[in-house]
Every structure is written in C-alpha cells, then in structure tokens.
Amino acid sequence: TKMAIRDVARVEKIPLHEADRIAKLIPDKPGTSFAKAYKQVPELMEIRDKGEDAIRKTLGFAEVLEGSVRQAGIHACGIIISKDDLENYLPISTHKDAKLYVTQYDGKHVEDVGMLKMDFLGLKTLSIIKDAIENVKLSKGIDVDIDHVSLTDEATYQLYARGETTAIFQFESDGMKKHLKGLKPNRFEDLIAMNALYRPGPMEYIPSFINRKHGREKIAYDLPEMEEYLSDTYGITVYQEQVMLLSQKIASFTKGQADSLRKAMGKKIIAMMNDLEGKFMEGGLKNGHDEKILKKIWKDWEAFAEYAFNKSHSTCYAFIAYQTSYLKAHHPAEFMAAVLSRNLSDIKKITIFMDECKRMGLEVLGPDVNESYAKFTVNKNGAIRFGLAAIRGVGTAAVEGIIKERNENGLFKDMYDFVERVDLSAINKRNVEGLAMAGGFDNLSQLTRSQFFAETGDGTFSEVLIKYGSKMKLDKSANQNTLFGGDDSIEIQQPEAPKVPEWDKIDRLNKEKELIGIYLSAHPLDDFKLEIDNFTNTRISDFNDIKKLKGKEVKIAGIISAVEHRTTKTGKPFGSITIEDYSDSYKMTLFSKDYLENKQYFTEGYFLFMEGRVQHRFNNDSNELEFKPTKMDMLSEIREKKMKSISLKITIDKLDNELIQELESVVIKHKGNTALKFLIYEPSSSTWIQMHSRNHKLNISQELLDYITASTKIQDYKIA
C-alpha cells in the first residue's frame, strides 16, 4: 500500500516530502490495506475526500494498483532442490540478476509441488572469525582452534555480563546490551535464549526471564511434565522445539504431528492449528490431564505462534556469537583488527568500531609501509595497524609488491631505499602519492607529506623519486655502479627534497580522510574537545533514533562537510548543510527567515555550535521529526561566550599547603578571564562551602583540565 502511493506520486510529480508524509499515514501493521487505513486514520480519509486534486488522484491510482505484483523478485539465498530435473515440476526462467535459473512460482507455492527450499546464508561474521584467527597467528604465533573453544569460558561470559558486545554478532544493539547486564549470562543456554527472545513479541518476556534466573520471580509450570523441557528457559516457552516435545509428552502427538504443529505455528497456518487443537485436547484428556489446563496451554501456544522461533537456528547463531566474544575477550586487538578490515566500506560502522577500540584501550595506528599488511593487523606492541589495501588508489598489486619485498629483504631504511627496491612496474606515481597522503611513509623518513606533491623542475617530487628508483634499477641490472664506468664515474645522486611548508592540520586530515575514509591520525574537532565535552548534550548519531529527542533542547557541535544554496520554484532562497561530529553526520535544510539569518554559517569547513529542538517537520500534523536549529555560533567563540566560571570541588581533608601552592602556580600559568571558584566539602556534616578567588581568573585550556582530572586531591570540576 505504501509502495503504491510512492510509485504513483513519483509519476504524478508529487513532491517527495509530501508523498512520504502521506505514505507514513498508513499504519505499519502487516496486511493493512487502503480500506483498513481509511477507517483507522481519519486524516487519510480527509485527504482522500477533501485534499488537493493531485493528491486525491494519486490515492485513487494507488488503490487500483494496491495488491498487484510490482516486479519479479529473487530470494537472496533460497535454493530449490528436487529429485529430478526442476523443469519436470516447475516453470523456470533466467533472470538478469541471477547466475542460476529462477522459478516462476512464488516461494510459498514451491513446497506445495514437492520441492525442498533451503536458505543458504553468507555471514560476514565467519570471515571476521577467519581473519581474527590469522591475526592471532601473525602477531602471537598461536593457533586458535575456534571450533573447540570451551563453552564455559569465564572471561567470555564476563564480557557479556558487562554488556561489552559492540561488534559481537547478534548481541551488539543497545537494547541487547542493557538486558545482558541484567541477565549476567553464565551458561551457553542463556545466550541461545536471549538470541531467540530479543525480537518483537517475545521481548516482553525478557524481564521475567532475567528475574527467574536470579530468583526474584518464582518458576511455575502448568503441568509437572513440562519442567523437563522448560527448565533451561526458567519455565518460559521460547522455542518451537519445546512445543514439539511437549505436544508429544502431554498429548501423545506423533513426531509427524509435532512437526506439523511447528510448521503451522511458524507459518501461521490457522486451519492447520485448528485441526491440531482438537487432536491435542483429545490426546491430553486421554493422558489424564485437566481440560482447563490443556486449554490454557493451547491458548499460550497460540500466542507463542506469533513469534515462534526454532532453537536450532538460535543455537547456531549463539555459537557464532560466542566464538566472536571469545576472540574479543582473549585476543581483543586481533579481533577488532578483523572487524575493521571487514567493514571498510561502511564509514558509520568504522567510526563506531574505532570508538570501541578507544574504549578498550587499543591504539589504532595509521598505515605504514614497514609494518602494515593488506588488511588491519596487530603489531608486536599490541597496537592495531591500518591495512595498506584500505587506502584508495593503492592497488592490490602494489600492496603485494611492497609486502613481498619487505618480507624477503627486510624493512625499508628510507624513501630512497623504498623506490630502489620495490617493483616500479607494479607501483606507480598514484600509488606512491596515495601512500604518502595517507601517512604510509610517515615513519620511514623525515619527509613531510606535502613534500611528495611539491613541484620541482622535473615534475612532482613523487615523480622524481620514481625516476630515481628506475635509474638505480637499470644501473643495477646492467651490473654497473656508475653511470660511465671506470674510476672517474659519477654516482647517481639521491634527489634532494624540495623545501615546502607542511599542510596545515585541516588540509592534512581532509586528505587523509579522502584516501582512507576516516580521520585517523587526529580529528578536526580534537581542538574543540573542551567545548564539546562541556556544552553539548547530544551526539549527532543520537538523531538515528530521533523520537527519543522529541521536544528536547538539543545542543550539538561539529564541522560542516557539505553545503547547498538553492531556490524554490517560486524563487525563494533556501539551503542545506551537513554537519558531522565524531559519531555521524546529519543533513538539515533551512527555509525563509531561518535560512537568511544563518546563511553566513553555510560554509564548508566551518566549526559550528548549534542549539535547537527536535520537532515535527513542516507542520505539527507531520509524522516526520527533524532537528531545527534556533541558534548557531562559531565553535571557536563558545569558550569566550559560554565559560563564565570554573568551580573546583575539593574535600576539606585534601586541602593542605601543598595543594594551595600547587594551585597557585597553576593559576599563574593559566591567567585568563574566567572566574575561579572553589567548592569545599566537609564530609562529617555533609556541608558544601562555596568560595571564589578575588584576584585570579583563568584561561580554560585542555592542559588545565588534564591537570585537574589527573590531580588526586581535586575531586571534580564544573564549568558554568
């Protein structure tokens, strides 16, 4: 229904935001049609009856198209198997997006004609596990037998209990982390159950599951016979297999009938469920069970059918998740290196995983021709080293050539040694400049990144270096040490690097991001850490769940990464900017007065501080929310505008002459315009006394805050 609206609206040239608004009025419940939607959403009916002609026309066409086949789709991983040639049973055809034949029957009808349909999933997680094991072998010389790790490993379960499951397959969402902290799993069965329960429907049972595990809620069974199959899940029915086994035990179902029950529940086949209910009641009564209890059990199973999950599936996923958790617990750097290697194309995920590395205390170093391999690896000091293949413009052949030469003949001594030794038929100017720009030569020589791109009389210095390397190779291949031979020969001189200033920090970081996709050696916002830590209350990634911010005063900071200045069809100016912080980016569009008042800030590379609210887009009836800034400032001016005072919290037992003298020297060193205050705490009477310095004011710098944070005598600080 929603797709019909959007498709027709596109043909009818309805503005995208308007089509989106109307489509979102359709309730998200499965099976919702126009007929049902009109009854449930009066606003939609009003649009149909009294809206603009173009919108009413769009809805009319969409109603006609509703329910018809839009296109022929292909299952992502479904494979059809039969005992003979498929064409004996099915109409088959070719498809532009498939290497194999495809059926012309819909998936749900294929099994009705006797075919077996299997789904073969390809999981990136398996590649991550493989890479992590290779990393461990490379960095520690240890062979990890991942298929036979202990399922009772304490360190692995502690990782789950702390909710430190970022990058852990199936267990990395914020909601799952919260539940894991409450559950504190200590056995593999808990992980299987959580994997099955953390989905819409069964999720409501998670609090009860946690309370029963920790003895805060009584475990009860409708029949004593049920304990055998429900004890692992603390009396809560979680899996289809439990229902299958219980139906056999309580009502003497055959294995075939139990499997039919599983199928009826999993595929929600009402007619089959009704037929099996009679057989269940008959078998249960025959085995001497109370009719009321049997009806209750069946009613519970009918509700369970809405979210039935099979244990075999959950067990396999839980086991793969456990393997990743084991690697993260015991080989954290090697595991995170593998995770980064397999997510290079997803900048948002890379940012999340880089933050996780920082939280874990793991250092992520930039690319280095003397230490990097193709993928992310771990060096001898336990730091993660960026992979050379992750640098744009540096091809596979170049990477393989560098690693081969390094492994066979030792580390490169300097840049001249590098171009003299590597195979220059596989490594060209573009490769060298890509490596230089990304920092791959930073540890190799005294050359700055900008020097590689400086013009000489013979091209850029990168070209000069490559020509020098080629001459040395020709000379060596001819078995000559000099240009002319003899005692009066002239040696090939190493070219002298041109003297040019290094790129400024922003230029260097932007070029680095262009080549490797992220800011690695630093971040442009690092200079504003103090402002961000003390005056913002929202990360841009929080806009991904914008409903939680509805109606709140939001303060964000970031760098402008994209700008657009445009005009509407009626000639009115408007514009959009994309603001980016450490966590994510967000695009916002400003119209009319809002745009005219703030367009001076619409400049790529500006560092901005924004205050605003999350509200309905366009009008209060819209379902779509957006962040609307009400005030913008340059981030560089916030310190002066916002920082009026700093208060140091000190308990009275720490207040001695040594601290006073230390503070006096620090205050003199950091003179400025911010008022200095003290909050002195006396624990026995729980009394706070506020005092202020009459003679001294401070310049709040990161160096000063680092001193305060590191001090064992200053409890905390507050900036206002």
**DSSP result, 264-286:** HHHTT-HHHHHHHHHHHHHHHHH
Helix axis angle, 332-341 relative to 124-140, nearest 10°? 130
Please compute the mean of the pLDDT values over residues 608-635 and round it to a whole number. 84
Comparing 156-160, 239-243, 494-498, 711-715, the range with the smallest average pLDDT is: 711-715
Residue type, 82: S
- For residue 252 the two structure tokens come to 């003497």
**Helices and strands, number each (H, E), in the chain:** 29, 18
**Is the model's pLDDT at 631 over the cut of 70?**
yes
Given a cut of 80, is residue 347 above it in pLDDT? no
Give the residue-averaged pLDDT of 329-353. Answer: 89
> Which tens digits make up the pLDDT trace of 433-459?
999 999 999 998 789 999 999 999 889
CA distance 535 to 642: 8
pLDDT digits (tens, 9 = 90+) for 210-224: 999 999 999 999 999
Q: What is the pLDDT of residue 570?
A: 85
As given in the structure block, the two tokens for residue 602 are 């619409």
Q: What percent of the chain has pLDDT over 90?
A: 54
Radius of gyration (C-alpha) of the chain in whole angstroms: 33
Is the C-alpha dihedral spanning 690, 694, 695, 700 positive or negative? positive
Q: Is the pLDDT of residue 656 over 70?
A: yes
Interval 101-132: pLDDT, tens: 999 888 778 888 889 989 888 889 999 999 99
pLDDT band at 485 (very low <50, low <70, confident <90, very high): low
Say if pTM beats, i.e. exceeds, 0.75.
no
Residue 484: pLDDT over 70: no
pLDDT band at 421 (very low <50, low <70, confident <90, very high): very high
Helix (H) or strand (E) run with residue 718 in it? strand 716-719
Q: How many CB atoms lie within 10 A of CB 397?
A: 14
Q: How far apart are CA 476 and CA 299, in angstroms?
A: 86
